[in-house]
Chain A
């Protein structure tokens, strides 16, 4: 077989194929549910109910979507420049760590602490990604492996700190940090509802990233480097510098997920802060076709599947891991569908 570019794909093709990819994903999911001896439609119904069946469920979904918007944006920004940042998990924990350090060690009023923690996290995440990117631009070391390995290193660093200098003496022996003071927590978006300002900051970040990508020189340069780094260099774009700026932005965004989870939701730092938000960010970004505004929608969709699957597995005998399979399947079907909107398959 051979691929041939389609000059003007029809609207039916550009929209129909991604929709088909989602349908195919749910067919696979249905078969998995049947494997577990459950009724597929009932299973999906329970997932939907668990994700959006009540005000509480919906808020829980938005809460879960918040860190995913940040990590999804981080991945979208980086992948656009063909910078394969698989280390959002490490950058998230770096952000959480700095948030805790500033929040618990500096005796300042909340109004000062909150922006300080946010900026600190932003810088820390950027710096964590800067290392692998410098290794890439200076020495040609593949950033996929270095960012992946940093995830493991960062978790061990956090574990070491939580059992050492950062350990909460009142923590009953659990590896857990002290809590940041009440007035340094992100306030609720609406009083009485369990949704904090992290969600608002996430939406704002998506808009800012969208503006950067579509309305600024940096956005243009990032796209040029991603499309063809050699051509961009020939056109006079400083590829190395663009990569570094991309890294600071991407790492910073991922770190804001850590800031938002700690300052908005948990108040403390533990080793289970992120159940793989960094890795899921890749799925979120790909489903959104790397579009920053699309990331918001896709993060809510992905969060809904996770929250819904939690609720579903309590009612039906289907393990929650079905959510992870569904999302990985969606990722693979979606990249294939997008390719097929632009190319047709020829025989021979």
Chain B
């Protein structure tokens, strides 16, 4: 028991939560934008792999870190464009296309990795984002080190939530985006293009997913290796449901989830953890995701037109 208390009162634990939550927040916001516009994007897992690779290789090739973030975002948007074209104007199955995008983005990243570094046995490291203290706030005892001594991408993740929430609920564009996921015919009747809105949402959302992937290589691990995304994309899809398609609730979900993840890593090192196989701890994130889906299933306010393709002139 004392060991758990020790974990909970350590600033590094709380700092870790924000760090673990950051990639999830980017990708969850990306998926949320897609789904609010009515398109399920199962390309998320592969797009995160691509973003992780593209951002890292760009920095390895000499670009500044923020340049790497931009390259990752563009790579995600490119795969988002393919997803958007196939699912929006052509109205193909969002499940099948999404899985296809995940397969093609993952294998393209691996192919490009082998092509660019044929000789290496272990991937080279880059100089990642360093923690930046926020003047004034980071000097607050405990809270300062826990919350205000993070890498720039973490601050950027939380800023993204604000932007997504502001655009969705406070701008005409956001109104149109939400409407297109609920009642596309009504949006069309207003003289707006359902196709353009949905495609735009998928492309921008995919860009954010890729930034989530890039966080792993540019901020967390400083090199790229296979399987590094490891189901985080699928977890983000569960987080969108858990957050009832609301940016702030989804962010809280990501933080809660990251909390459990940070806790399980630390529990493994306690005397209690030594008695339990480590795989049990590694399973917790996936089991929690399923539990989250089950808990929210009864009261989820799914966008009414989610996964319903829109073909003009058809009713």
Closest to B82 in A: A332
Closest to B276 in A: A160
Contact B104 A332 (CB under 8 A): yes
Contact-size category for A? 35 or more
Give the Cβ gap from B191 to chain A, nearest Cβ, in Å. Answer: 15
Binding-face segment, B133-141, B163-171, B217-225, B282-290: B282-290
- Contact A146-B293, Cβ < 8 Å, known A86-B99, A160-B279, A325-B104: yes
Contact A152 B231 (CB under 8 A): yes
Tell me whether A3 is interfacial, beta carbon within 8 Å: yes
The total of chain B residues at the interface (CB under 8 A) is 49
Contact A327 B279 (CB under 8 A): no
- Contact A321-B279, Cβ < 8 Å, known A149-B290, A331-B96: no
Tell me whether A201 is interfacial, beta carbon within 8 Å: no
Tell me whether B172 is interfacial, beta carbon within 8 Å: no
Q: Which residues of A contact B238 (CB under 8 A)?
A: 145, 149
Give the Cβ gap from A204 to chain B, nearest Cβ, in Å. Answer: 28
Give the Cβ gap from A211 to chain B, nearest Cβ, in Å. Answer: 26
Contact with B along A309-348 (1 / 0, CB 8 A): 0000000010101101101110110011001000000000
Closest to A2 in B: B312
Tell me whether A168 is interfacial, beta carbon within 8 Å: no
Q: Which residues of A contact B230 (CB under 8 A)?
A: 152
Closest to B283 in A: A156
Q: Give Cα A32 to B112, complex, Å.
A: 10
Q: Give Cα A90 to B165, complex, Å.
A: 37
Contact with B along A1-40 (1 / 0, CB 8 A): 1110000000000000000000000000000100110000
Contact B91 A32 (CB under 8 A): no
Q: Give Cα A321 to B290, complex, Å.
A: 31
Tell me whether B132 is interfacial, beta carbon within 8 Å: no
User: Which of A32, A84, A336 sits near B86, CB closer than 8 Å?
Assistant: A336
Q: Which of B254-296 contact A (CB under 8 A)?
A: 277, 279-280, 282-283, 286-287, 289-290, 293-294
Contact A325 B111 (CB under 8 A): yes
Closest to A282 in B: B99
Give the Cβ gap from A302 to chain B, nearest Cβ, in Å. Answer: 12
Tell me whether B118 is interfacial, beta carbon within 8 Å: yes
- Contact A331-B100, Cβ < 8 Å, known A35-B115, A141-B293: yes
User: Which of A282, A324, A329 sits near B110, CB closer than 8 Å?
Assistant: A324
Q: Give Cα A163 to B280, complex, Å.
A: 12
Contact B103 A328 (CB under 8 A): yes
Tell me whether B66 is interfacial, beta carbon within 8 Å: no
- Contact A159-B279, Cβ < 8 Å, known A149-B231, A153-B286, A336-B90: yes
Q: Which residues of A contact B313 (CB under 8 A)?
A: 2
Contact B92 A335 (CB under 8 A): yes
Q: Which residues of B contact A36 (CB under 8 A)?
A: 115
Contact A157 B279 (CB under 8 A): yes
Q: Give Cα A159 to B282, complex, Å.
A: 11
Output the residue of B230, B282, B290 with the most chain A CB within 10 A. Answer: B290
Q: Which residues of A contact B110 (CB under 8 A)?
A: 319, 321, 324
- Contact A164-B293, Cβ < 8 Å, known A149-B286, A321-B111: no
Tell me whether B301 is interfacial, beta carbon within 8 Å: no
Q: Which residues of A contact B311 (CB under 8 A)?
A: 2-3
Contact with B along A196-223 (1 / 0, CB 8 A): 0000000000000000000000000000
Contact B89 A327 (CB under 8 A): no
Q: Give Cα A327 to B104, complex, Å.
A: 8
Q: Which residues of A contact B77 (CB under 8 A)?
A: none
Q: Which of A114-167 contact B (CB under 8 A)?
A: 135, 139-142, 144-146, 148-150, 152-153, 156-157, 159-160, 163-164
Q: Which residues of B contact A1 (CB under 8 A)?
A: 89, 195
Tell me whether A284 is interfacial, beta carbon within 8 Å: no
Tell me whether A279 is interfacial, beta carbon within 8 Å: yes
Q: Which of A246-276 contact B (CB under 8 A)?
A: none
Q: Which residues of A contact B10 (CB under 8 A)?
A: none
Contact B298 A139 (CB under 8 A): yes
Contact B279 A319 (CB under 8 A): no
Q: Give Cα A35 to B313, complex, Å.
A: 43
Tell me whether B15 is interfacial, beta carbon within 8 Å: no
Q: Give Cα A146 to B294, complex, Å.
A: 10
Tell me whether B142 is interfacial, beta carbon within 8 Å: no
Contact with A along B234-253 (1 / 0, CB 8 A): 11011001000000000000
* List of 6 A-B pairs having minimum Cβ-Cβ separation, nearest first: A324-B107, A328-B104, A319-B114, A328-B103, A160-B279, A321-B111
What would be 6 A-B contacts, judged by CB atoms less than 8 Å apart?
Answer: A36-B115, A149-B289, A156-B279, A325-B111, A328-B107, A332-B104
A interface list, Cβ under 8 A from B:
1-3, 32, 35-36, 84, 86, 135, 139-142, 144-146, 148-150, 152-153, 156-157, 159-160, 163-164, 279, 282-283, 286, 317, 319, 321-322, 324-325, 327-329, 331-332, 335-336, 339
